[in-house]
Amino acid sequence: MNTGDIVWILVSSALVWLMTPGLALFYGGLANRNFASNTVFLSVIVLGIAPLVWVICGYSLAFSGHGLLIGNFKHFLLHGLTYNHSTFGLHIPDAAYMLFQGMFAIITVAIITGSVVGRMNLKAMLLFIPLWLILVYAPLAHMVWGGGILQRMGALDFAGGDVVHISSGISGLTLAILVGRRHRFSSETDTPDNMSNVLIGAALLWFGWFGFNSGSALTINATAILAFINTNIAAAAALTTWFLLDFIKTGKARISAALSGGLVGLVVITPAAGFVTPSSAIIMGILVAPIVYYLADFLQTKFKYDDTLDAFNFHGIGGIVGGILTALFATKDYHGILATGSLKQLGIQLLAIIITIALAAGMTTLIAKLINLWLPLRIPADIERKGIDHELHGEYISMLSSPQFNQHVRAKQKL
């Protein structure tokens, strides 16, 4: 065991944990004031549910056994987990590895909630979260990182392109389609309700992403440094490119647009962070911005799906682009196309993406259909129209959405 590596993985675990409150603020700031509290609450409740599922059976299903698709219950409730040595040949004990990987499960399922905030039945969501972690996240983590079929094939996913971003993006889109589109009102818009929260949330996400990607080296070495550099520079390139595209289109220098570009850059570099050079990371950031910017708008216009806070648009599309570009730009040691001239790695990456999409979409549909046999997936229309924050939560992220504030304004108008 290496003390420095243990410290780094514990710090990285804390950084990845911080991403979920960051996501809550980012989502909450972007959300309409009638469901901003609902948006934040769904990320907060994930902080409670996901670690419990992970400790009880998620880690065991993901990282025990030698199955092609899923592990077993050898480490149920962390039974037999080692705290002073590694069974994976790492410089950190298995308990530290379990902790780090568990943080990924939290942020992944939190991302999904952004697609259906403000209209999904809370009871249904509380059932969906643990079932999805067990039936989608754990098998994918096993297949990619736990010795399963995708790892044996040689699929490259440094920190979660398939496991985190594509799975959550596709699941969010599937759930959004099953739940249905929001009711629209002429008095409401989809413009960000609290730009301060958007900025703070994006900053926490970006900061936490350093632990997300660099920590995935699982040791303090050159790869960890490379992943750290690539994470920052890809996000910077995507932020700049996205801002320019949006400024040309709208004529407005929008903070939300720039930060959205940065987030997409962080997504695209995730599967490639330790496999590509910094110059390639810059190119990846530049390329992903126009692809997501224009493709997301085209798909939503054509297919009319309601991905409320762009979980699919950013994470699903961005993750798919990242997986493909990883095959293109990976260094010679990782069989990238530009470095070797071989298309083999591209075929492996595409197959891994297809398997991830099929599992995420198929199992999300099955879980939602099973829940719907007992509970409606959607809240009643009258509650949605009045605002789920008022009817369900009684708390308000935005002062402007508070009934007390609105009464104060009306009183002043009468004077």
Q: What are phi and psi of 120, to 5 degrees?
A: -90, 140
Radius of gyration of the chain (CA): 21
Domain presence at residue 16 = yes
Q: How high is the mean pLDDT of the chain?
A: 93
As beta bridge partners, residue 378 has: 120
Confidence band for 409, pLDDT divided at 50, 70 and 90 = very low
Residue 88 is encoded by which pair of tokens?
């994976």
330-363 burial, b at 16+ Cβ within 10 Å, e below that, comes to: bbeebbbbebeeeeebbebbbebbebbbebbbeb
Residue 331 backbone class (left: φ over 0; alpha: ψ -120 to 50; beta: rest): beta
Q: Whole-prediction pTM value?
A: 0.94
Query: Does the pLDDT of residue 88 top 80, yes or no?
Result: yes
Confidence band for 248, pLDDT divided at 50, 70 and 90 = very high
Domain presence at residue 17 = yes
Residue 325's SS3 state is helix
Residues 6+ apart with CB under 8 A from 189: 32
Kindly state the DSSP code that residue 34 receives in the 8-state scheme. Answer: T
pLDDT at 190: 63
For residue 110, the enclosing domain spans: 3-402
Q: Mark out the alpha helices in 116-157 (DSSP H runs).
A: 122-132, 138-145, 149-153
Query: Does the pLDDT of residue 313 top 50, yes or no?
Result: yes
Residue 72's SS3 state is coil
Domain presence at residue 411 = no
Count CB-CB contacts under 10 A for residue 191: 10
pLDDT at 183: 80
**Chain mean position to CA 94:** 24
Average pLDDT for 204-211: 98
pLDDT at 410: 47
Average pLDDT for 319-334: 98
Q: Mark out the alpha helices in 147-277 (DSSP H runs).
A: 149-153, 167-179, 195-214, 222-250, 255-269
Domain presence at residue 408 = no
Whether 214 contacts 224, CB under 8 Å: yes
- Taking alpha carbons only, the member of 169, 178, 133, 118 closest to residue 368 is 178
Domain presence at residue 219 = yes
Query: Does the pLDDT of residue 212 top 70, yes or no?
Result: yes
Query: Does the pLDDT of residue 413 top 50, yes or no?
Result: no
Q: Alpha carbon of 163 to those of 42, 170, 197, 255: distances in Å?
A: 20, 11, 27, 29
pLDDT at 382: 87
pLDDT cut 70: percent of the chain above it: 94
Query: Does the pLDDT of residue 14 top 80, yes or no?
Result: yes
pLDDT cut 90: percent of the chain above it: 87
Confidence band for 407, pLDDT divided at 50, 70 and 90 = low
Confidence band for 338, pLDDT divided at 50, 70 and 90 = very high
Instruction: Give the tens place of pLDDT for each residue, 64-87.
Output: 999 999 999 999 999 999 999 999
Residue 303 is encoded by which pair of tokens?
């297919």
Whether 160 contacts 106, CB under 8 Å: no
Q: How many domains does the chain have?
A: 1
At 253, which CATH number? 1.10.3430.10
**Polymer length of the chain:** 415
**Chain mean position to CA 23:** 9
pLDDT at 385: 84
Average pLDDT for 32-41: 91
Residues 6+ apart with CB under 8 A from 310: 114, 260, 296
- Taking alpha carbons only, the member of 366, 321, 358, 365 closest to residue 140 is 358
Confidence band for 185, pLDDT divided at 50, 70 and 90 = very low
pLDDT at 394: 85
pLDDT at 186: 36
Out of 16-20, 239-243, 266-270, 380-384, which region has the weakest mean confidence (pLDDT)? 380-384
Q: What are phi and psi of 157, to 5 degrees?
A: -150, 85
Average pLDDT for 116-137: 97
Domain presence at residue 226 = yes
pLDDT at 182: 87
Average pLDDT for 272-280: 98
Average pLDDT for 176-200: 78
Domain presence at residue 345 = yes
Angle of helix 3-30 relative to helix 94-113, nearest 10 degrees, comes to 10
pLDDT at 396: 82
The angle formed by the CA atoms of residues 383, 387 and 393, to the nearest 5 degrees, is 90
Q: Mark out the alpha helices in 270-343 (DSSP H runs).
A: 278-303, 317-329, 337-340
Query: Does the pLDDT of residue 408 top 60, yes or no?
Result: no
Domain presence at residue 412 = no
